[in-house]
Amino acid sequence: MKFLALGDTEEIGASCHFLDIGGTGIVLDAGTDPRREGPDSLPRFDWVRERAQSYVDHALITHAHHDHMGSLPVLVEEFPHAMAHMTDATKQLLDFLLPASARLQKKRYEQGETQHEPLFAEEDLDFLSHVYLSHELEKDFDLTGIEGSTSVKGRFYSAGHILGSVGTELRFEEKGEERRLFYTSDTNMQPQSIIPGGEYPSTADVLVLETTLGADEEAEQTSRPEEVEKFRKTLGRVIDRGGTALIPVFVMGRAQEMLAMLQRLKDEGTIPSGVPIYTAGSMRAIAGIYDDTNDTTPRLDEEFKVFDVEQERVPYESDAKTEILEGPGIMVVSSGMMFEPTLSNVLARRIVENEEDAVLIVGHAVEGTPARRLQDAAADGQGSPVMLAEGHGPQPVYCTVERFRFSGHSHRRDLLAIVDDLSPETVLLVHGEPEAQAWMRENIEQRHPEIDVRRPDWGEMIEI
């Protein structure tokens, strides 16, 4: 078996890994890097032919975050016969999110916000539905390529990350023996507000393991109930003083989980029922998909409806924004990393100097992003400067800034537990910053010296 990283393995960006299994070409995810633009945001699909001397028969799309599926239209254009496999919930999300991405790329190009032409147009997506194949959890499906010398079977396991997210098991024969590879993708062993914790196979010969929180020591030392209690108290103080709480989120996954939590806090009286919750963009539409799939995907409460959480839209006009920012209120808007020019970045610049307001960061903020810069500035002390956007700063930080560990990723001790349970011969560490991968490698090797632990370099061909 050959493994080739097409996306940067030392970043949380364009997740994409190529496998050649006895002549069958399989891509694990096809993402884009949100910190890069145009062709630079894409995986290196050209390396499949140039370095692996191969092709792509199948693509496995583990979930509907853009860093795992955003380049799928480009992949299918490059390899027109490739079939894309996913859950039905992920298919419904892609049918909504990819056209929205095409429209946004076109708008940004036409308005001069980027020099790069769109990676794909909305009309290019019409044919994609013909290559989508959806599968139920823990049911076998065929992945054998047209020139494959051995049968390859796939199986999805709920990943506990977002709606429809999965880890993927591949089973095949090599030198007369059955082999098993398991790709965790983004995974979470612990239950969230809507989605229960992930499920995993009993064993694997090769484990391709995400490492997002591998460098986060504090994440393993906190529990979700403790974080919920801290969030409840902080949000209550902001509301009591008439402030606005900005909650930057990923529009898909984190947004719905936070809306569910806010509704629970309203139901119990922590948040007065009259305090408005503002959202924007496609969150309402995605809530509908969550609700439409509540009886076919794992849920903690099958009766809960995300769409029923009372919300108001953030107004487009600047003066109207000023009016609602007077508070009290709660803003649940994207992006989670506060990239410019997203709404969370725009609103953060308007409240960061106000002592009565707050920015509540509810996930992992990658090094160098505006969310991390704000987090670091607040840690330096009140009034410390932060640059949230080019040409708009630096600004002194006087608002409350707190981070809460509601990430959809497993912390590093849980990741080690996955290794313990699956007992693989080989572990490939991906989708994490260098410090995270280094910690994971050292600790896996200490616990399991018999395991071959590797950190694939971007573009490195590995024989396993």
What is the model's pLDDT at position 13?
A: 78
Residues 297 and 435 both lie in one domain: no
424 and 386 belong to one structural domain: no
392: domain CATH number?
Answer: 3.40.50.10890
Residue 293 pLDDT grade (very low, low, confident, very high; cuts 50, 70, 90):
very high
Q: Which of 351, 381, 403 is the last residue of a domain?
A: 403
Most confident stretch, 1-5, 107-111, 218-222: 1-5
143 and 128 in a common domain: yes
Which range among 91-95, 313-317, 406-410 has the greatest average pLDDT? 91-95
**Looking at 376, 403, 430, which one is the last position of a domain?**
403
- Provide the domain count of the chain: 2
HEC profile of the chain: CEEEECCCCCCCCCCCEEEEECCEEEEECCCCCCCCCHHHHCCCCHHHHHCCCCCCCEEECCCCCHHHHCCHHHHHHHCCCCEEEECHHHHHHHHHHHHHHHHHHHHHHHCCCCCCCCCCCHHHHHHHHHCEEECCCCCCEECCCCCCCCCEEEEEEECCCCCCCEEEEEEEEECCEEEEEEECCCCCCCCCCCCCCCCCCCCCCEEEEECCECCCCHHHHCCHHHHHHHHHHHHHHHHHCCCEEEEECCCCCHHHHHHHHHHHHHHHCCCCCCCCEEECCCHHHHHHHHHHCCCCCCCCCCCCCHHHCCCEECCCCHHHHHHHCCCCEEEEECCCCCCCCCHHHHHHHHHCCCCCCEEEECCCCCCCCHHHHHHHHHHCCCCCEECCCCCCCCEECCCEEEECCCCCCCEHHHHHHHHHHHCCCEEEEECCCHHHHHHHHHHHHHHCCCCEEECCCCCCEEEC
**Residues 181 and 231 placed together within one structural domain of the fold:** no
**What's the pLDDT score for residue 267?**
92
The pLDDT confidence band at residue 290, using thresholds 50, 70 and 90, is: very high
Residue-range definition of the domain harbouring residue 84: 2-216+408-463
Residue given tokens 């298919």 in the structure block: 91
pLDDT band, very low/low/confident/very high, at 173 (cuts 50, 70, 90) = very high
Whole-number pLDDT of residue 130: 86
Residue 125 and residue 119 in contact, taking contact as beta carbons nearer than 8 Å: no
Residues 258 and 391 in one domain: yes
Average pLDDT over residues 320-338: 90
Mean pLDDT score, 374-402:
93
Residues 200 and 252 in one domain: no
Q: Within this chain, do residues 80 and 148 fall inside the same structural domain, yes or no?
A: yes
How do residues 96-108 score in pLDDT, each as one tens digit? 999 999 999 999 8
Shared domain for 201 and 159, answered yes or no, is: yes
Domain boundary among 387, 403, 419: 403
**Does residue 421 sit in the same domain as residue 299?**
no
Is 447 in the same domain as 392?
no
Residue 281 has pLDDT above 90, yes or no: no
Q: What is the pLDDT of residues 13-23, one digit of tens each?
A: 799 999 999 99
* Per-residue pLDDT tens over the stretch 25-63: 999 999 999 888 899 999 999 999 999 999 999 999 999
**227 shares a domain with 204:** no
pLDDT tops 90 at residue 420: yes
Could you give the C-alpha distances from 230 to 109, 272, 380, in angstroms and in order?
42, 18, 21
pLDDT at 236: 94
Q: In this predicted structure, which of 43-57, 233-247, 358-372, 422-436 has the lowest mean pLDDT?
A: 358-372
CA distance 12 to 437: 12
CATH number for position 179:
3.60.15.10
Average of pLDDT values for 271-275? 91
Q: Are residues 239 and 380 in the same domain?
A: yes
